[in-house]
Amino acid sequence: MSGIIVRRRPWWRPALRALPLAVALGLTGTLAAALQVREVRVSGTSRFPSREVERVLGAALGTPAVAARPEALRALVRALPWVEDAHVKISLDGVVACAVSERVPVAVAVDGPARQLVDAAGNLLGPAAGTRAALEIDSFGPHPGERADLLARIPELERAWGGHLARAVRVGPRDVELGFDGAPCTVVADPGAPDGVATARRVLAAWAASHDAAPRRLDVRVPGRVAVLPAPPPEPPVGEVS
Q: Which residues on adjacent β-strands are paired with residue 98? A: 42, 88
Residue 129 confidence (pLDDT) above 90: no
pTM: 0.76
CB contact at 8 A, 101 and 74: no
Determine the Cα–Cα distance for residues 111 and 140; give it in Å rounded to an integer.
7
Q: Would you say residue 109 has pLDDT above 50?
A: yes
In eight-state DSSP terms, residue 78 is: H
Confidence (pLDDT) at 17: 59
pLDDT at 146 over 60: yes
Enter the DSSP assignment of 64.
B
Whole-number average pLDDT of the chain = 87
CA separation (Å) from 122 to 148, 153, 170, 239?
4, 12, 14, 53
Query: 13: pLDDT confidence band, cut at 50, 70 and 90?
Result: low
Cα–Cα distance for residue pair 97/38, rounded to 1 Å = 11
Decide: helix, strand or coil at residue 156: helix
φ, ψ for residue 175 (rounded to 5)? -115, 120
Query: Which of 23-32, 78-87, 148-157, 172-181 has the least mean pLDDT?
Result: 23-32
Is 48's pLDDT higher than 60?
yes
pLDDT at 101: 97
Distances (CA, A) of 70 to 34, 37, 42, 80: 19, 12, 14, 16
Higher local confidence (pLDDT), 11 or 136: 136
Average pLDDT over residues 26-35: 53
pLDDT number for residue 164: 97
Give the start-end residues of each E strand in the chain.
Answer: 39-43, 83-90, 95-102, 105-111, 114-119, 124-127, 136-138, 165-172, 175-180, 186-189, 217-219, 227-229
